[in-house]
Structure 1
């Protein structure tokens, strides 16, 4: 991992590691792509031929998980190909190669951490309901910002089938709040004081409404533990949950493959760019 100190903060990248990974996959001369996954990508667990070199697939996918440490823009795609690591097919390897082609075209990209005196803890949660064609489980995602810089992100398939969009979104909401509680605990141990309540943003109006409603609706009984967990933290004054429009939901990049315009927008908001471009929290540059 390369660390570059700038006048505004720190820039983390993995150019050398990615180049080594491209050489390992014999893709040094591959044609770059603008996104790590096509918008219509639907990876089947059964349709396709078993890859010839299973060990190579597993090795590359494992290495990609390390790249995600400084490249949250590939987190969704990498999580997707990880789901087939026990029985990888040729279509899955094709998806892996597209991720590598995207990284080839963005070798100089990395993660910016900038100085900020306003230590506000802020989280974004999202879910893609029933998006997995193999078992119809939903994908949960979140990203957590401290002082405007991303410090934690996740993209993963939910462990059970959600029966509605709101249910899937609420499970994701519980995940990000659990992560933010851990961050708060760590900061307390370090003697760092936060500014105001932690903010959580969700693009599901139904999930936001349920979070602030003390009445348990029958439709949410199967997520009762998550429901009471979130409500308890809100009642304690630790969190405030608000609604964000879908077109401003940065966690969307961690939930599903996006068209290039939205992908680039949310990638910038995740502060992933080249070292010469400082990305601001609202998506601008300076």
Structure 2
């Protein structure tokens, strides 16, 4: 580290300081803090999730504790109040922490708990966006709880580097929708997570300037929607089979990650994940280890859906468009 102003050694003005420990704001500080915190958690018997390294899980017989870390913000929950209190006391002794009580606000997410389940919304964050002058500098963070905004936000985000008046008008229309729907959010019921059900669909050649397609999927855990996406495909597809197959592969990757996360959370499913697509050719390509001239050019990484289907990890299945 360079010598700080006011403390420069006049004999060696060009020398630098060798630090004995990490300092705040250094690029190594986040890594050092995570190593410090994770070492403490591992000593207590927690396991670090492979699917998400910020998730720690402690299992004691039938008791379980989940802890989620984001920088220095922590969410912790469990099914054993005594074990939870003991852990929080240890956490207080090890670090300078403050208990804010039941979860109500975390990283822009407002959490409301009721007898029927949880409700997540981002009304405050939406208010902040509406009050901000430089609207185009806003991040698409609101789409975390607003599936209805995902496609529109994805479309205008393509032009953030060089926006025009037309793009600004499109953003204003999105914000008008946000202003009238501030109370929208996500509801999670207490229904048991017995299975994963995933739907995929594609807007073929929806971008008139590039003719690229947009992949979309929605993934349900039991009755609850837990993951979704609207993303522009990187290349132009030659057929409906190809762009649906690419969308299926993108969804299969997300389902695989979600399955690994549930395994780390010790949540078991009664059935293997079911992936639904409205294109029979894409389903046939996923379930059969065959190759033909119209699919030879598809990149190998998209064949992950075929490998997962062959191993029994997922089950691709056709569904008519009107049932999606």
TM-score normalised to the size of structure 1? 0.72
Partners in 1 of 2:193 and 2:132 — Cα distance? 43
Residue 59, structure 1, aligned to residue 137, structure 2: yes
Partner of residue 255, structure 2: 180
Structure 1 equivalent of residue 267 of structure 2:
192
Following superposition, the deviation at residue 23 of structure 1 comes to 2.3
CA distance in 1, matches of 2:191, 2:301: 33
Instruction: Give 1:22's aligned residue.
Output: 130
Q: Check if 1:214 corresponds to 2:289.
A: yes
1:82 aligns with 2:164: no
Q: Return the offset for 1:6.
A: 1.8
Q: Kindly state the Cα deviation for residue 213 of structure 1 after the two structures are TM-superposed.
A: 2.1
Deviates more, 1:75-84 or 1:229-238: 229-238
Aligned in 2, Cα 1:226/1:206: closer, same or farther, shift over 3 Å?
farther
Task: Encode CA deviations 1:213-254: one digit per residue, 9 max, x unaligned.
Answer: 2221221111152563222211111111111221232xxxxx
Shift of 1:20: 2.3
- Contact kept in structure 2, 1:170 and 1:226, CA below 8 Å: no
Partner of 2:196: 121
Decide whether the 8 Å contact of 2:274 with 2:315 is kept in 1.
yes
Q: Does 1:109 align with 2:187?
A: no
CA–CA distance in structure 1, aligned partners of residues 172 and 194 of structure 2: 39
Conservation of the 8 A alpha-carbon contact between 1:126 and 1:140: yes
The residue that corresponds to 1:245 in the other structure is 320
Moved over 4 A (4+): none
Aligned residue pair count: 216
Q: Distance in 2 between matches of 1:247 and 1:93?
A: 34
Partners of 2:121 and 2:185 in 1: CA distance: 4
SS of corresponding position for 2:297? helix
Cα distance in 2 between the residues matched to 1:67 and 1:227: 29
Higher relative contact order (CA 8 A, sep 6+): 1
Question: Secondary structure at the residue paired with 1:107?
Answer: coil
The worse-fitting range, judged by mean Cα deviation, of 191-200 and 225-234 is: 225-234
Tell me, which stretches of 5 or more residues in structure 2 are unaligned? Answer: 1-108
8 Å Cα contact 1:171/1:226 also seen in 2 = no
- Per the alignment, in what secondary structure is the counterpart of residue 284 of structure 2? helix
Residue pair 1:198, 1:239 contacting (<8 A) in 2 also: yes
In structure 1, what is the equivalent of residue 173 of structure 2? 98
What CA distance in whole angstroms lies between the structure 2 residues aligned with 1:137 and 1:214?
A: 27
Unaligned runs of 5+ in 1: 26-55, 250-286
Is the Cα contact below 8 Å between 1:200 and 1:240 reproduced in 2? yes
Match of 1:10 in 2: 118
- Report the TM-score when normalising by structure 2: 0.64
Give the RMSD, CA atoms, in angstroms: 1.4
Distance 1:79 1:235 in 2: 33
